[in-house]
Structure 1
């Protein structure tokens, strides 16, 4: 603490020890400053009085800033030789510290700065205010907005602070630099001054929105539009208000109306209205709108355009968000590897460029946790997912973030066998939906709860027959496609369990057509898995195998393990039955390895999940295969493993079906080709 306070300056260390009487406790040292008796006397007698009067004056006047240089000192002191003075002050030693190697910027030692600012007060309040006005003007002329606004505020000139922010673009500053930076700047301006300036009210609205205060943000925009309609705002203020108002609407359940979407598209095409940042933001909103409406193909096109605009204009905040959105789109389309790459890139960029914007990084981590969960990287997903979701619940977020976050969080609990924890997580999601007035989120969470209950065979027994048919019919008429998809998947699983496979198959087939049309690859995998369950329940194993083959062709290359594993032990029974029809010999090696990982993870959920293809065979089938490799007869195999000849024949029949062969030599050949022997 002593070294930090004195910055290692030997004389200051000696004086501090004397001043504190050796009591080097943190509170005592913290109170030691440049205005403390001994240090102040030393600085006066040994430093300042050795300098010419004009140099003393320059040091005192430039102490109003955290750092200085010759140009700033010239402006504050009305001189033209400040560079020469600053670079010639060798006698100050450690008290005047160059910030960079070429000595283009300087700062005062903390204790010396304390001393100089104490001397500065003797100039009088009016003189100090004048210096702050000069500093504000100097920083503003060099586009250093924070310095311009801070010194205007210190001068008591709050109108000037407001004018600097308006000149910089108001809400545009937040788009370029993030919400926390905009909040910091708005703090320099009193509320009454903001209230009469529409562009600043818009800026305050976006800060409120990013802090999770959506209702307050909407009220701010409504009042802003009233002022603009009364003639107190210009065209720029109106367009800013429109884009922020649209952003607020996009965070709600309903999203944007078709008329609003058309208006956005017209604004994007109107170069006179849409500045580069606005064109990017409008495309961001279109991305969210198309996602909300279920169309990931259009969402990807809008997101790609937003990224191009942000990259071209160097808007770091927008560049981060465009990657967050693209990661979300890729997840929905089933492009899991791309999603993870995009989200990891977004996280790196946010950590580098938006250090103070914790809410943005939290949203990225929520979506990244979803990608990791789907890969079955449970530890990594838990490490970032739970805390990030808590941050989003208190700060910025929208429907897709919360839906994905609470679905994943409940899945993580289920993967660890914590059924009650999964339901508690969904209760928290329900509370967020209530607090933020998101009825669609409440509905989606309710269907996720139903899904988890069905996986535990804990659904209300009265949900069957005609009532279940009615629920499936209602799901097909849901107001949003996301709700239709979520409800149909949850209810179809229950229908299959309740002996209503035909009804489930019909609902899933109809949903699949629309999902394929909209490019919703993730949902398509789950639909195909459930269609396989329905076909097996109806004794149509060829159809079940066909659906699973299709699901594997989508899931295996991308690594969608949890889409299978969430179905629990039943999925292993389904796969074992289907493999007799699919035949391993006809599958790509990547699909075989993927199946092995699913088998391994389901057998030992808490252990190391191996891609060893031998896991596709049951333990007894692996024993029989080992005998075949040794060219042993059925009798020798039966005797070695303590089973009957008929048992060996039964396992051989299953092995032949799975491998797609009809004799022992071919079974060994296919097993060797696909690495089905555990020691390969």
Structure 2
């Protein structure tokens, strides 16, 4: 519409100054209204977001709700005619019911200042709402706006709504704190608002996914409301939930796409094939110079295009807009789409974005490029840089025929098969490469080529649970000697292998040293995936040394890094939870440990081949379910572990399962069944028959426990003393503690009271600093009876205050674990001492106790002395405090 047509059509002029009608069912947004109210108290409010973010509706609501006595509100819907500054100034005057400027006045700057002077002279507060501000443009318009903003009187307030950043001088207001800006993120619907609109139409998980898809874009949410209420078509509903519905496409093509500059429109269309992209790639694919746009330009496109977190210079399209552009792109010849994928693959490959290069090469059908990219990068390189799940996805995109025609892809496929648990198939591929001569086709150039093959072969060895001989360890050490400081990837991988080798041999100090060296290498490379695995290794080794508190810190660091960088790799997170759950279990966080492993072990069983993880994970899960649900649930876990052992031909896991079965059957009192299982194990005196020191040590403990509970405590003691001596000499803290705890019961059953006391003190000295309470609780009633017997015989005064407190925790916790046991006080204290304790809790004096019980004060003192000795305290207040801690008294 021309300037003349507006002048000659009063109806059009009235439309521009009339507040648009509000939606009848609009959702109220009081928080945003308050933001506008507070902004008006300043001076300028700017709402900037694309179409469909409810700017006009919000302004209309504020216009209706916010006027106060003495206010004069005005509304102007800006249009193209306002590019003429004269029309713009007349529109502002009309918004407040003022006479327009004289037609003969051609000095726009003077006219603007006179209009502002007229407003300033009034005692009223003028609040001007400017909607659709982006509709006017041009040098003259922005010059006029610049004058208005430079000379804006204090009693004039502006509320501006625009689809793009308004080109007006706002810094002065921002510096003074007089500017309020509401952007798309502020205007988007919150989860609560979406739940109010869609809660009855969507399940909770659907609502979460839809909120993630739309980002709370109000128009998209509002468009979905009636459709979800009327459609019974499953396909329609699915398209709504994944953002591809025609209603969404129409909104994007009608309201959003036309407002995007032509160069950006072309670039974003071709970039719809990409999950995320830098601007130079967008330019490369589209053939336009979009990379020359400034950061400020790009900010105007939010949330149509937004920066990718932690990847400076990279962007992603809003999912619904990406779907709309992608549907447009599908109208092009398929050759063009394939060519775009191929061009993207080449671009990514040239810049070492390996996963993206292989993915787009596969989508382009260029499997030769995909195979060459993987070959050039090396499977170990991709595995360490991006993680196993990425390597697995890449291999899955390549046809099997192409894999088996390429020696390099066959080698990498062996690694993937090993992780999947198909260890025999992985070994067959490695052996075939070596025996057939295809290994020569790999182009292995020493030392890097040899390391590449050796790394993958070494991983298969680990999955096969091969024993590391001295010469193998020496060979690894020699390879390290050939590497320089810059060979961080290879050194990290070799240190990793040495960590596993020394752990298996029981040299935990060297295992930990090599794990730390490997971690340092991967931190230098800033590679998250291998860092996570080395933190897991460190946590597992630390648990073996008997330090669950330190192990828990390492496991939590691994978990945090996995959640931040490998959040889609459920298998990796499940592996990180194995040492975390073990540490939590040892500190009596049994339910949390059980939840972690119950949820995680199915992922580990599907996507991991390392036997140690199965031994540790299934072992703790079985013990946790034993405590929470009983022996039947625990045996179910053991049966699943045995299935994995059989499926993957893991002989060490089968042996570990038998040892665990003996432990749980013994603890459940099924001693004959436990004896039957243990009879099938190798003789403990034949140490060469045991695969590692851990199985031998675990079997020694379960056998000793069974001997002690079947009337053979002396034989149990002999076995335990041998294990404690060996464990202490090699820092095998977990075995040393477990053997000491079981020996308490054995010594007590053998009548060796002093030795039982020493074993209890020794066990607590190791367990207390780590808060390792659960190892005592797992022994159940037999240990409980032994501990209470030791306390009755020697008194709590025999122990140091800290040890006495821990003894009390053991007794109290054992009582809480099994509510059918008698109250702890009935065994630990005499009936008279329990009465004394109740009187102390009521602050009764000795004279009052004597009077109420019909005793002499001397007798009361005698009983109190015995009570203090058992509790390990020296005065009344401490006696009450300790008694409450160990459940001898209720808590106030």
From 336, 350, 358, the equivalent of 1:149 is 358
Q: Is the 8 A contact 1:488 1:508 kept in 2?
A: yes
Give the TM-score, by structure 2 length: 0.64
SS of alignment partner, residue 304 of structure 2? strand
Q: CA deviation at 1:463?
A: 5.3
Deviation at 1:653, TM superposition (A): 9.9
- Give the structure 2 partner of residue 76 of structure 1: 285
- Does residue 189 of the first structure (1) align with residue 398 of the second (2)? yes
Q: For the residues of structure 1 that align with 2:653 and 2:248, how far apart are their CA atoms?
A: 65
Q: Structure 2 stretches of 5 or more lacking a match?
A: 1-197, 202-209
The separation in 2 between residues aligned to 1:422 and 1:34, in whole angstroms, is 47
* Match status 1:27 vs 2:238: no
In the alignment, what sits opposite 2:771?
559
1:234 corresponding residue in structure 2: 444
Q: Which residue of 1 aligns with 2:591?
A: 379
What is the DSSP-based 3-state SS (H/G/I as helix, E as strand, rest coil) of the residue aligned with 2:330? Answer: helix
Is the aligned partner of 1:490 residue 2:699? Answer: no
Aligned counterparts, 1:160-171, within 5 A? 160-171=369-380
Matches within 5 A, 1:592-611: 592-605=804-817
Structure 1 vs Structure 2 CA RMSD? 4.7
Residues 564 and 231 of structure 1: CA distance in aligned 2, closer, same or farther (over 3 Å): same
The yes-or-no answer on 1:98 pairing with 2:305 is: yes
2:297 and 2:681 map into 1 onto residues whose CA distance is 88
1:565-595 Cα shifts (integer Å, max 9, x gaps): 1111121221122235665335344333322
CA distance in 1, matches of 2:850, 2:253: 101
Partner of 2:755: 543
CA contact (8 A) 1:211 1:395 kept: yes
Asked whether the 8 Å contact 2:625–2:634 carries over to 1, the reply is: yes
Aligned to 2:382: 173
Aligned-pair CA distance for 1:624:
4.5
After alignment, is 4-13 or 385-394 more displaced? Answer: 4-13
- Residue 549 of structure 1 and its aligned partner are, at CA, apart by 0.9
Residues 295 and 614 (structure 1 numbering): CA distance in 2 closer, same or farther, change over 3 Å?
A: farther
2:425 is the counterpart of 1:216: yes
The partner residue of 1:346 within 530, 545, 558 is 558
In the alignment, is the contact (CA less than 8 A) between 2:761 and 2:803 conserved in 1?
A: no
User: If the length of structure 1 is used for normalisation, what is the TM-score?
Assistant: 0.82
Q: Deviations over 1:182-208 (max 9, x none)?
A: 122223433333334333333222222
Bigger shift: residues 379-388 or 190-199: 190-199
Counterparts of 2:782 and 2:577, CA distance in 1: 31
**Residue from 280, 289, 311 that aligns with 2:523:** 311
Alignment of 1:474-485 (within 5 A): 474=686, 478-485=690-697
**Higher alpha-carbon deviation: 23-32 or 314-323:** 23-32
2:627 aligns with one of 415, 421, 446: 415
Unaligned runs of 5+ in 1: 661-665
Question: Which of 439, 443, 447 is 2:651 aligned to?
Answer: 439
Q: CA, structure 1 residues 574+144, in 2 after alignment: closer, same or farther (shift >3 Å)? A: same
Q: Given that residues 584 and 659 in structure 1 are in contact (C-alpha distance below 8 angstroms), is that contact kept between their aligned partners in structure 2? A: yes
SS at match of 1:99: strand
Distance 1:311 1:597 in 2: 41
Q: Deviations over 1:31-81 (max 9, x none)?
A: 699997997999699988x998x99977766665556665335433555x4
Moved more, 331-340 or 60-69: 60-69
**Which residue of the partner structure matches residue 342 of structure 2?**
133
Q: What's 1:248 paired with?
A: 460
CA displacement 1:81-120 (0-9 Å, x = unmatched) = 4456999999xx9899332399975748246414531342
**Cα distance change of structure 1 residues 514 and 636 upon mapping to structure 2, 3 Å threshold:** farther
Q: Report what 1:330 is aligned to.
A: 542
More displaced 10-residue stretch of structure 1: 194-203 or 304-313: 194-203
Query: Are the aligned partners of 2:267 and 2:286 in contact in 1 as well (CA < 8 Å)?
Result: yes
- 2:747–2:756 contact (8 Å) kept in structure 1: yes
> Partners in 2 of 1:670 and 1:408 — Cα distance?
40
| Separation (CA, whole Å) in 1 of partners of 2:733 and 2:681 | 26
Change (3 A) 1:55 1:574: closer
Indicate how the Cα distance of structure 1 residues 166 and 596 shifts in structure 2: closer, same or farther if over 3 A, else same.
same
Using the TM superposition, give the Cα deviation of residue 245 of structure 1 relative to its aligned residue in structure 2, in angstroms: 1.7
Q: Indicate if the aligned counterparts of 1:59 and 1:116 stay in contact, CA closer than 8 A.
A: no
Does structure 2 conserve the Cα–Cα contact (< 8 Å) formed by 1:239 and 1:273? Answer: no
Contact 2:307 2:313 in 1 (8 A): yes
Judging changes above 3 Å, is the alpha-carbon distance between structure 1 residues 87 and 288 closer, same or farther for their aligned structure 2 residues? closer
Asked if the contact 1:369–1:385 (Cα under 8 Å) also holds between the matched residues in 2, the reply is: yes
8 Å CA contact 1:638, 1:648 repeated in 2: no
Tell me which of the two structures has the higher relative contact order, counting C-alpha pairs closer than 8 angstroms and 6 or more residues apart: 1
Moved more, 519-528 or 402-411: 402-411
Deviation at 1:600, TM superposition (A): 1.5
Q: Whole-Å Cα distance in 2 between the matches of residues 438 and 583 of structure 1?
A: 49
Q: 1:24 to 1:448 in 2, by over 3 A?
A: closer
d(CA) in 2 for partners of 1:110, 1:469: 62
With 335-344 and 535-544 compared, the bigger mean Cα shift is at: 535-544
